[in-house]
Structure 1
């Protein structure tokens, strides 16, 4: 899988979110379509970021993958605010206003059997109300894949968090029309663009239609092509009340399910990602009610994937920071789900070899939810195209399990530049060593972290930096050694496979930094949370970086030592062994500092309240959800002052 990286546009959206997670770990998860290496806090961050980027028009994971990841998180934290609340639409920061009516999300089903189970709940509600079940009617409508909004006749609101949104009436002022020449004030609906118009006039300028939808309600600087689309009537607000539908008995629905779904799915000329089924009886709706997230009397039926058969032109190798060489299949350009697909990553070179991915091969490509395409299967194999040397440094490649790997850790440009970027990004204690400056330095011969710390101000100047910038860069390098930093973060900065921040911290609860390099596979595999495969990768990775690590470590970084587990367990601290969740705004210091201090006192720090939580420490402006979750799980709630009295 190609190494995914957030682009600048995506990063600007992420900066507006309240997530404090190493993005490189999330990038790896997106690259691998796997959350196996993420802890709960990181998984939550991935969900928040994926939702925000999808709604901003820059999706990074497939809808069904997002749904499955959300279910994993929900199984562990069923009462977490993110799970029980509406996933917010995302706009640039602005004043929010109360919606005239709540706008909830819609629960999802992916099979006829799931729909039948939902219908059983409808019928049970009818029996409770003494309503003849044979008279129950179901309405089926297209599930528009647009920008959710609410029109009360005077203002147009974004859905926001389902309770509060933003006033975007400016869209109507720009000429946006109601679909079917409808009147204003018909309530909830979606802002959409005609598919045929998008294909003919805008697809060469915009990656997908969600970019257009977001642009329609943008506060300023609206693209002139979008304004033209509005004037041409291609962009509309489509109220659900006006949308094409099928209404009939639940018996007829199940009897002719496939035909009804197919007819409604294709009933409109706008992007659709499913159909909506809902009970029509108002008494049943009132009786069944809603969760904080979904109406129980309504459900969406979705199909996971849209596929196409595509011919391979060639297979291009790409070397990642870890040294793995990823195969990228260059394709005959093909339209799938409204976008032209010309390349797709292959999982690894063993798949290329065993499945015959090479020039002339026919692949089935799946693209769901307007996101990154993937290979479903090889329809027609061809002679596999496998490189012998690294495309970055021409070193001879070696096999490691399913992967081709460049063993040249020290002098491979693809690895060294990205290793340097990762190191300074993970340290996070200086601003000068971003990708652009590092690229400039590596192009001029700097290949290793220790070489950076050997540089003097006049040498930066010799590399083309100005006098003031040279001094600033030198000073920041010195500061990065002097500013306190956790030893686990320092180790994580070297980018060893399977050694993200969480695993580094867990290992350093058992070993010192230098002792860890002597640990064997068997030693690490004995520790809680480390399987034999992970242990092998960690030991091999540590061996590869040992020489460079010792050189950098020798510069005398100001490292905060991770407390040993044995010390924590025997600590006399009143919170040793406890699990604590901090929430709200603290008066005595930053929440991150309080969390760090709690760890030093032997406590575990969590991000959400569950049955294993010992204390919930509540600062100012705390929502009811965490408080209620604490009560439901028997967790003691402490004010900030009560907590400080406890630890003192």
Structure 2
């Protein structure tokens, strides 16, 4: 129970450094001493990690922390999960569990110039009622990874951290709570008084961005180099890898930070909905609660003011202690956000302005040809190292043979390299002037696969050359990595180094580039023990222990992960098989429609195209996949080895068969997703745009341009009540 300040007539404000430390402790009970120390330590963490204005020395902090540890050791019954001593705990026993988000963590549409930003603002204005003027909140677009924190009610009116979940695929993320607890800018405990002062309930959700500060990134790379490892590529990748590390003590050493930017309702009714009336109030409340909120934020009215903020942000970009790649602009009013709604993938009320790609000039020293999972052969430029936007770039994509011809690039040329979207390096042009001589060696695109020697083919109408050998080691390697990915079968431990060893290739150390021959093929050292995805499920402990740097613990963990993956389900198996054009959404629809892999294999083109969102191209790709004997044998083998390839078949009605609906505006009782689900369950389709082929437009409050277009085309317009009546 917090004690009152000796120099104040009122109870202490949360994290008040004048409280506790000056209190005589001889008459305090153990629980009072412990609580006093906790409040002091929380205050210091807030000052140090959030305000960046510590009032204690490290020695003072260590002394109080050690005293708290001693008292908690003497009274273990008083230890609580939100104590400052409990930040670093044990690692998860079986990796990170999957957790569904309270509402999807959507990506944002992008704008790359002022015209695109003004066009977005016009769409926003058009979606609001006449006379409404939106305000905009401008925030820096931090270059990290998104995270959702859930706080629940504590026993004394406080809020305590329950969980931290990564964005994942936007719908389902990974529970990385054990690692989030080590982030010092994330409070484990928010006092009852602070909640009362801010006017917040005990339970709520916070969303934000986890970043690795530049200083911590440089220190981490110094340590990696000292250990004989290659430096990490950039702070974002390092942060993403750190948050998914299974050792919380390592995460604690990396000094991640989390900047909060969304405040949502907690578990229960309306979970995931905005908690306050506008975004600017949410940022203020988050800051008042003791969370780290970026100070570079501003509420404005006009797009000219937004553009001025963007110019200022770009001006300070290189002086910031963390990476940013743009500015996020949000409509401030939550009521207006609701009226504007969402597209299929992004909110209409927010947009990300991306800074121009960073570029530099360097020399093209050579070209490798990589073979992908589908057999596509991609030319990769080998560059003299160049530092662009916080990353040392040594490789860049040349896309395909047509792109090489378009650029007219030769080995030895000076080339301009961009990090497109600040992510993927690419060559944009050849630099030829008095300071940069042209190269003389032509780039010869191979006629045969650089890995297996099979003659390459190019389908009519396509630009890519492909290796058609399904057993090509390079294709198998990519298939294994794809199969093991988080969003597919989620096999922890089956990364690039492990896959290389399973295939008999020379394994690189963590962070090193893969060793390849002059033609770009992996160096083979020994006989492979895996030749296909199915062979993963035949691996033995003895085989794994025979590999380099693989001990009993690692071998057992990998075998456990592989065994667990057998229950991933039909939809994930379909994604894992790598059928062209079949992504997560299509795989889910196929699994719900057919229920078994056998039914999908036997389905005709017409059967497949009867599935919502499956068109002729996707249906033909599925039929093509199952026409190849090796693929059929793989599916059979997986089934025999215990991989579950069934799903609960969703009964699809026929009431709306052949009908296409478009949803617009806010419906009285149904959300967009609920309405879409009801329509699709009745056999109908939901489209995002109105055309002459649209059967009905379902219009709610504040319906926009879609309603106008429906009226122009003579498409029937109905309300929610009529839709429910039609659904029966």
Which protein has the bigger helix share?
1
TM superposition score category, shorter chain reference: 0.3 to 0.5
TM-score (norm 2): 0.42
TM-score (norm 1): 0.46
Give the structure, 1 or 2, with the largest relative contact order (CA under 8 Å, sep 6 or more).
1
